[in-house]
Amino acid sequence: MRKVSAAVSLFVFWILLSGYFTPFLLTAGAVSAILVVAFARRLELVDPEGHPVDFSGSALVYWPWLFKEIAKSAWDVSKIIVDPKLPISPVLVRVRSTQASAVGRVTYANSITLTPGTVTILAGRGEFLVHALTAEGAASLAEGDMDRRVTRFEGAR
Amino acid sequence: MTPLEIVAMVLLTVGGVFCVIGAVGLVRMPDFYTRMHAASVIETLGAGLVLVGLMLLAGFTLASAKLVILGALIFFASPTATHALAKAAHESGLEPATGGEREKGPE
């Protein structure tokens, strides 16, 4: 099933990038998609990490929330930048990560980095080292709301 | 201009303003780590709003599909690149200017 879904995604990607609908190019795209999946299978790349289609459903719940958080904190960082006093209070914090899988930890670490004002420096098992632009940003991250949401995202497959 | 084009122009302009704010932040911030926070304003709100504005201009076409793919690329690649930079700086011993505050434990 995962192989079929990987081949279909690759074929759709081919069509979107080419934009030609002649029989020859459609066939070439289909053959390429199947060959790539065949090679990837030999390399054992078609697994939950290489093609994490299982997360599509929970991504639809998690991503809108993440986009809202990104917009909010980008606005906060912009206000700090244009403030003549430049009110920053940079801190290093260790935050707990409760994700069980590598995909979950990467999602949490990337979410932290994607949110302006916080950057994951070290992503270990169970604990991340995070650099925050303001002490408030570090405190709201330490509350663990994002951590809980990513763990739910990872669990709700 | 149609209303849709006006909305697209507003999004492009606001996105551009956030890019400029990010660039100003890049200059104003005191050290390496804080400058990365300024840069992430550009790659999130700046690039995001410009992409949405361009999608509105392109309408429901293949060009929009490519813009969506471009957005996905930025969405996955930019935090990875930022993390690689931050980790490289940390590994090579660059201390962040933390204003006298020490590392805090969880909670």
Q: What digits encode the pLDDT tens for the residues B38-66?
A: 999 999 999 999 999 999 999 889 999 99
Nearest CA in chain A to B95: A92
* Record: contact B105-A138, CB cut-off 8 A: no
Residue A142 CB neighbours (<10 A)? 19
pLDDT at A26: 94
Radius of gyration (C-alpha) of chain B in whole angstroms: 18
- The tokens for A82 are 């244009």
Under the banding of pLDDT at 50, 70 and 90, the label for residue B99 is low
Residue among B101, B98, B83, B102 at smallest CA distance from B34: B98
B100 confidence band (pLDDT: 50, 70, 90):
very low
Ordered by start, the domain boundaries in chain A are: 2-42, 54-155
Phi, psi for A134 (deg, rounded to 5): -130, 155
Contacts (Cβ under 8 Å, ≥6 apart) of A55: A103, A153, A154, A157
Q: What is the rounded average pLDDT of the residues A133-150?
A: 91
Residue A117, pLDDT > 80, answer yes
Query: Which residues of A lie closer than 8 Å to B, measured between beta carbons?
Result: 13, 16-17, 19, 70-71, 74-75, 77-78, 80-82, 86, 88-96, 109-111, 113-123, 127, 129, 131, 133, 135, 138, 142
pLDDT higher than threshold 70 for residue B105: no
Is pLDDT above 50 for B106?
no
Give A100 to chain B, closest Cα distance, Å: 18
Report the distance separating Cα A58 and Cα A67, nearest Å: 14
Q: Which residues of B touch A122 (CB under 8 A)?
A: 87, 90
- Of the segments A20-24, B16-20, B29-33, B90-94, which one has the largest average pLDDT value? B16-20
Cβ–Cβ gap B103/A92 under 8 Å: yes
Q: What is the pLDDT of residue B48?
A: 94
Reply yes or no on whether the pLDDT at A107 is more than 70. yes
Taking the C-alpha atoms of residue A35 and residue A79, their distance in angstroms, rounded to an integer, is: 50
Nearest chain A alpha carbon to B33: A131
Contact A129, A120 (CB under 8 A): yes
> What does DSSP assign to residue A126?
S
Query: A110 and B79: CB-CB below 8 Å?
Result: yes
Q: Which tens digit of pLDDT belongs to each residue from B4-31?
A: 999 999 999 999 999 999 999 999 998 9
Q: Report yes or no for ipTM above 0.85.
A: no
Res A90 pLDDT > 60: yes
Judged by CB atoms closer than 8 Å, whether chains meet at B40 and A16 is answered as: no
Q: How confident is the model at residue B98 (pLDDT cuts 50, 70, 90)?
A: low
